[in-house]
Amino acid sequence: MTFSARVSSNAERDFLREQTYYDEVAPHQTGRFVAEVFTAARLLVDHIEIGGVISADVRRWQLGVFPCQLWYRVNQQTRVVRIIAVVGDAQDRQRFADRLV
């Protein structure tokens, strides 16, 4: 049973914001950050329940090297893992609360 990954427009903006941050403060780390996010997305597709539960249908996965989480939903019917947020560990979680509904 194969799943595919989809990225919401909000999560895409989050990702680009984090990527821009690394471009500005540690440009030598940007490629590594991007690679880690893509690796994590592939991991979530292969192991849909690996992340910790945030709410009834939202999970989170902490990146290994970078202080950032991927928030995602799994739709069993459509076989889609939808990444709904890319959240820096220092960010206020309330800013992302609307994505949990």
Number of structural domains the chain divides into: 1
- Spatial contact of 81 and 74, defined as CB atoms under 8 Å apart: yes
Q: Is the pLDDT of residue 34 over 90?
A: yes
Q: 38-80 pLDDT, tens per residue? A: 999 999 999 999 999 999 899 999 999 999 999 999 999 999 9
| Cα 35 off chain centre by | 13
CA 94, 11, 60, 37 torsion: positive or negative? Answer: negative
The pTM of this model reads 0.93
**Distance from C-alpha of 62 to C-alpha of 97, rounded to nearest angstrom:** 18
| CATH value at residue 33 | 3.30.2310.20
Range of the domain at 61: 4-100
